[in-house]
Chains A and B, each alone.
Chain A
Amino acid sequence: MSEKITIKDLAQKPDLLMPGHRLCAGCAAGTIVRLVLKATRGPTIITNATGCLEVATTIFPYSSWKVPWIHNAFENAAATASGIEAAFNAMKRTGKGPLAKYEHVDVIAFAGDGGTYDIGFQALSGAFERGHDFLYILYDNEAYMNTGIQRSGGTPRCAWTTTSPAGSVIPGKREWKKPIARIAAEHEIPYVATASPAYPIDLVRKVRKGLEVEGPAFIHVLSPCTRGWRYPPEKTIKIAKLAVETCFFPLWEAEFKDGEIVYTLSAPSERIARKPELKKPVEEYLKLQGRFSHLFRPKKREDLINEIQQWVDREWKLILKRCGKL
């Protein structure tokens, strides 16, 4: 893919996810998958963990996928992808078998935060360690949304979920969001990145890079959920943008080169690094979402909002340091 690609260029590429799927109106996952598939470069096979995306796009007898696609179980998107990659390698080696005719096959695993942070973590880590050539896309809606908004390892602190409700004693989830992308990077795999559907060109560029790299690649995409985060559906892209603008979800890449993990800030976050006055307070991000409403009503919880701001600042500082911006 050429370095400079525009929205208009993207619009020319075929849409490999057909409409008619049953994702909620305004679901970021739909946008994310459409964009990811526009970045494909040749024969592609998809594995998909159980979750919103899998269930909504393949209600029997319908399917929205224009590429070969398999759903196995909840926790094994990475293991299933490993098997497909191994199959292709074997067929290339023997020159026999249905996939031997391809020069290369791209294997992409889609999974939500449930199938990645928690139940799918083992398979993910194993696949990274074995070095399979595949791209893993985490569409993170920060809870087990498909089963009704239960907390996951990716749920941010203080968020309301049905298993970490904001009650009179405990104000939402107590634990912090697991730094899954940094953990992936520490596996010393060739390519890790974070992305947001609000920056489609950046996302597409990263997907293509992940496909081109030899070995495991991991892209953590923030996927705002109108149902679970409690905001009106038209705000999905706005919220995905604010997450980056408040540095709640900074955009960066990490490449393992010559024995070193090299971090690079991506343009939307790099702008903020250069001009810190552009960094918006996290409160602006939180107040738009019903899952954080208990931080504002009946009484504004400055203590909790400050805690979250401190966490955001700490993470941001860590990323800046790693990107050599500090």
Chain B
Amino acid sequence: MAVKQIVMGLNGDEAVAYAIKQVDPDVVAAYPITPQTIIVERFSEYVANGEVHTEFVAVESEHSALSACVGAAAAGARAFTATAANGLALMWEILYIASSCRLPIVMAIVNRALSGPINIHPDHSDAMGARDSGWIQIFCENSQEAYDSIIQAWRIAEHPDVQLPVMVCLDGFVLSHTLENVMTLPDDVVKKFVGERKFVTVKNHFGKEVPFILDPENPITIGPLDLYDFYFEHKMQQIDAMGKAPKVIEEIGKEYGELSGRTYGLVHPYKLEDAEIAIVGLGSTMGTAKIVVDKLREKGVKAGLLRIRSFRPFPVQQIIENLKDKKVIGVLDRAVSFGAYGGPLFSEIRNIFYDQDIRPLISNYIYGLGGRDMPPQRLMIIFEDLQKIAETGRIEKTVKYIGVRG
């Protein structure tokens, strides 16, 4: 039985800020960048009104924002930050350090195009640039999911099998600045769900098994120099943790579902069971696409979609299970990897199907860069293309760019 929830009119940023308010982390260190600014502003108001106990650090750059979070999390605090686009790019080196130091930091990424030219509108180039950094990446369809995922993120990050930082991504402006009805849990329910941060233990250099905290009572050394004799082993530990993350994400998603009535997983299929053609993608466009799928279904077309929620770790089994028997799938990429054959999501999906005996035809559609709008009409073009491919059994052009002039 889901608990009683309160509907609030919130945009994506406000929903994130409200979720953080309810979690009440020890430290928030953030630097403003459009379209994340509302998160920082709203949270500053909570601080100024004494509604949270958080120590808010108005850092002088995004690099320092994540650096401060690393210090705070290492000292045993719950630490949160938020950024977008070039802010994420600026903290790039620290992303790798945060994940290699196994710190359960939570960060909201309000997806925005990377400069240049400078563009404040949504696309996934920023998060894609961070996909190798060892962070868990969750992509949200709507502000409701952003709210729900921010709350779940702490449990995922702090899980003893995981101990990795988590970034929760929501599309800039489309979600961050658009008002939505968001069902919010009561404060005490959120508090109980996230609980207190629990610590794993490590063996320190005095031979003692101590909590993994910078605690003067049991000193540890974090961030040493690795030579070629140990770096690889340290990376294996991160690989192992990422390998354990899918199960944890699903477990937490289920537990959250029992609480709220909204269950979350690694992937979210929509009308996919008997679908013959389907699109796969991340983020808010998949929400828009549901309407297109419905329209097609009315016309008798067996269309469906698979929204991937967890991009890292990449849900290999779930994607194969959901898509293997489809005739054609169209992979939507809202980012480009210059010089690569197709977009990042396309490459990964093609990759996992290589070993399968049964696999669909896989077509790539790169769309929406720099906030180029993706209305239902444009999505319909993609589905029509998939239908044509299904009929002919051939893909004329594997990588297509939707919505660009010229």
Q: Is A in direct contact with B (CB under 8 Å) within the complex?
A: yes
Q: Which residues of A contact B (CB under 8 A)?
A: 42-45, 47, 54-55, 58-63, 65-73, 75-76, 78-84, 86-91, 93-94, 96-99, 102, 105, 122-123, 125-126, 129-130
| B188-221 interface (Cβ within 8 A of A) | 196-197, 199, 205, 211, 213-217, 219-221
Selected contact of B76 from candidates A43, A72, A78, A97, CB within 8 Å: A97
- Alpha-carbon distance between A126 and B63 when the two chains are bound, in angstroms: 12
> Using Cβ atoms and an 8 Å threshold, which residues of chain B touch A99?
75-76, 215
Selected contact of B64 from candidates A47, A76, A102, CB within 8 Å: A76
Of chain A, the residue at the smallest CB distance from B56 is A86
Of chain B, the residue at the smallest CB distance from A55 is B225
Q: Does B99 contact A (CB under 8 A)?
A: no
> Using Cβ atoms and an 8 Å threshold, which residues of chain A touch B97?
72-73
- Given A60-B227, A62-B205, A76-B67, A93–B55 Cβ distance below 8 Å? yes
- Given A63-B205, A97-B77, A129-B60, A83–B67 Cβ distance below 8 Å? yes
CB distance from B236 to the nearest CB of A (A): 14
A69, B61: Cβ atoms closer than 8 Å: no
Q: Does B272 contact A (CB under 8 A)?
A: no
A68, B26: Cβ atoms closer than 8 Å: no
Question: Can you sample 22 A-B contacts with CB below 8 Å?
Answer: A44-B216, A58-B224, A59-B227, A61-B224, A63-B221, A69-B214, A70-B70, A70-B71, A71-B222, A72-B71, A73-B97, A79-B63, A79-B71, A80-B67, A83-B75, A86-B26, A87-B73, A89-B55, A91-B76, A97-B26, A99-B76, A130-B57
Top 9 A-B residue pairs of the complex, sorted by shortest distance between their CB atoms: A83-B71, A126-B60, A83-B68, A71-B223, A87-B77, A43-B216, A90-B26, A79-B67, A76-B67
B54, A76: Cβ atoms closer than 8 Å: no
- Alpha-carbon distance between A44 and B63 when the two chains are bound, in angstroms: 25
A73, B94: Cβ atoms closer than 8 Å: yes
In the complex, besides A65-B221, A125-B60, 14 extra interface pairs with C-beta distance below 8 angstroms are A54-B225, A66-B219, A67-B219, A68-B214, A72-B97, A79-B64, A83-B57, A84-B71, A84-B74, A87-B72, A98-B76, A98-B199, A99-B215, A122-B60
- Alpha-carbon distance between A129 and B60 when the two chains are bound, in angstroms: 9
B225, A68: Cβ atoms closer than 8 Å: no
B71, A81: Cβ atoms closer than 8 Å: yes
Selected contact of B72 from candidates A55, A76, A86, A102, CB within 8 Å: A86
Selected contact of A94 from candidates B26, B69, B73, B214, CB within 8 Å: B26
CB distance from A119 to the nearest CB of B (A): 10
Q: What count of chain B residues pass the 8 Å CB interface test?
A: 49
- Alpha-carbon distance between A104 and B94 when the two chains are bound, in angstroms: 28
> Using Cβ atoms and an 8 Å threshold, which residues of chain B touch A43?
216-217
Q: Which of B27, B76, B77, B221 has the most CB of A within 10 A?
A: B221
- Given A72-B67, A83-B68, A130-B58, A67–B76 Cβ distance below 8 Å? no
Q: Does B230 contact A (CB under 8 A)?
A: yes
> Using Cβ atoms and an 8 Å threshold, which residues of chain A touch B68?
79-80, 82-83, 86
| B43-88 interface (Cβ within 8 A of A) | 53-55, 57-61, 63-64, 67-77, 79
Selected contact of A72 from candidates B75, B94, B205, B220, CB within 8 Å: B94
- Alpha-carbon distance between A83 and B65 when the two chains are bound, in angstroms: 9
Q: Does B355 contact A (CB under 8 A)?
A: no
CB distance from B54 to the nearest CB of A (A): 6
B219, A47: Cβ atoms closer than 8 Å: no
- Given A55-B225, A76-B64, A79-B59, A68–B72 Cβ distance below 8 Å? no
Q: Does B391 contact A (CB under 8 A)?
A: no
CB distance from B218 to the nearest CB of A (A): 8
Selected contact of B216 from candidates A45, A91, A125, CB within 8 Å: A45
> Using Cβ atoms and an 8 Å threshold, which residues of chain B touch A94?
26, 53
